[in-house]
Amino acid sequence: LVAVTTQGGGRINQHFGHATEFQVFEVDASGVRFAFHRRCDNYCVDGGGADDRLDRVIATLDGIDTVLVARIGDCPREGLAAAGITARDTWAHDYIEPAILALYRERMTQKQAITA
């Protein structure tokens, strides 16, 4: 499962701290499929992050391996990493499905390199 921050238009175009919902997609060898939404309070309030809100966002992302975002600050990135969730801004402003496929291919290539 991969979560995405988006303001619409099929793109990864929202800052992590402004997200009040995450679109969650399933990805495997047969492709990318929208699975569901997860709603939460946004992390940023009045221009800064709130630790209690980050805890709630992390709880909202339970079971999610990776979050694709347009931008994310160091503090929330580190908080997510401590919870075992990778935040990536590699595909900021790209279309969602191709970005998730690129992530999947990257992970499969890494697995093959490890087993080789």
What is the DSSP annotation of 49-85?
Answer: E-HHHHHHHHHHTTT--EEE-SB--HHHHHHHHHTT-
Structural domain span for residue 6: 2-115
Residues 55, 62, 14: CA angle, nearest 5 degrees: 70
Domain tally, the chain = 1
- Per-residue pLDDT at 82: 96
**2-4 and 66-68 strand pairing:** parallel
CATH no. for residue 61? 3.30.420.130
Q: What is the mean pLDDT of the chain?
A: 92
Q: Tokens 């619409």 belong to which residue?
A: 8
- Per-residue pLDDT at 63: 95
- Per-residue pLDDT at 42: 84
Residuewise pLDDT in 10s, the chain (116 residues): 999 999 999 999 999 999 999 999 999 989 999 999 999 988 877 666 666 889 999 999 999 999 999 999 999 999 999 999 999 999 999 999 999 999 999 988 887 788 76
What angle, 0 to 180 degrees and rounded to 10, lies between the N-to-C axes of helices 51-60 and 74-82? Answer: 50
